[in-house]
Every structure is written in C-alpha cells, then in structure tokens.
Structure 1
Amino acid sequence: MGKIAGGRRSRSSGDDPAGSDLYGSGGPDEAVAFIAETSRELSKIAERHGLETLRHLLDMTQLEAAQWLRNKRRLS
C-alpha cells in the first residue's frame, strides 16, 4: 500500500476514480451501512488507545449513519 503526504494512499493510473472496487458499487444504503460498521470498529480502536475525542467523533458518525438507515427504512 503506497502512501503520500498526509497519510493518503496513492492511486495507480488504472484505479477507478469512484473507488467502486474498494468500497463496493452499491448505492447509498450500502455505503451508509459500511460507514456505520467501520466507524463502530474504529471507535473501539480509538477507545483502546485513549483517543477520546476521536472516539467521540466516530461514535457520532456511527449514530448518524444508523439514524439515516432507520429513517430510510421507515420511509420505504
């Protein structure tokens, strides 16, 4: 995995600009579910390392994603 300044991965010239291979090609529901799950796991890591502000932000991200999914299902 290549890195550039700022900790971002460098992209090869053949990469899909939308990142569909890495993050899936599903719609917004899939993306929000992925964000909710990933932010929950990252929050656990932040807590384990005493990164309370980062943990709090990740928890808020998870809550927002879960709320979005609940609202979406309620409207369907």
Structure 2
Amino acid sequence: MTKPGKKRARAASGAPGGSRGEEPGEGGVDEAVAFIAEQVGALRKLAERHKLDVLHYLLGMTKLEADEHLRLRSKRKLS
C-alpha cells in the first residue's frame, strides 16, 4: 500500500500503454543489431569453451543473421 500523495513507480516492462518509440539514450536498429552481434559472438565463444555444440551452432547462425542484416542495411544506405 502506498502513502497518500505518493505515486507508485511503474515497472519498465514494455507493457501496453508504454512508449513504442526508442527510449532516451538508445540507438537505432543498426546499433541494436550490432550490439546483438557482439554479444552473441561472446556467448558463442562461451558455448564453444564448454562444448555446448548445439548452442554454439545456433549462436553462430544468429551471428551470421545479424551480420547479414548489417551488411544489407549498409548496402541500401550506399544506394
């Protein structure tokens, strides 16, 4: 229960009614994909080190997809 006059903070969960735009400080789609590719690369190395073959493979495919997305986006921007 909250005290009168105080508002309860809303959780940042992306629930309906929240902003559909980008949050302050977030980059665009290309920055998000680049970040994902970087993080997936690190996770892939971790999976390889622990001999998690299926995860290693799937993360590799995810990295390829992210890299391809970036390649195609940059190609379109040049046209």
Same fold (TM over 0.5): yes
Amino acid at match of 2:44: S
Amino acid at match of 1:60: M
SS of structure 2 residue aligned to 1:63: helix
**Deviation (angstroms), 1:40:** 0.4
Aligned to 1:53: 54
Q: Any stretches of 5+ residues in structure 2 without a counterpart?
A: 1-8, 15-19
Residues in 1 aligned to 2:32 and 2:38: alpha-carbon distance in whole angstroms: 10
Aligned length: 63
Amino acid at match of 1:15: A
SS of structure 2 residue aligned to 1:38: helix
Q: Which has the larger radius of gyration?
A: 2
**Deviation (angstroms), 1:25:** 1.2
SS of structure 2 residue aligned to 1:26: coil
Residues in 2 aligned to 1:57 and 1:13: alpha-carbon distance in whole angstroms: 35
Deviations 1:12-60 (A, max 9, x none): 8443638x58xx6111101100110000000000000010000000000
Residues in 1 aligned to 2:50 and 2:68: alpha-carbon distance in whole angstroms: 27
Q: Any stretches of 5+ residues in structure 1 without a counterpart?
A: 1-11
Higher helix share: 1
Question: Is 1:15 paired with 2:16?
Answer: no
RMSD, aligned CA? 2.4
* TM-score, scaled to structure 2: 0.68
Amino acid at match of 2:32: A
| Percent of residue pairs bearing the same amino acid type | 47
* TM-score, scaled to structure 1: 0.71
Amino acid at match of 1:62: K
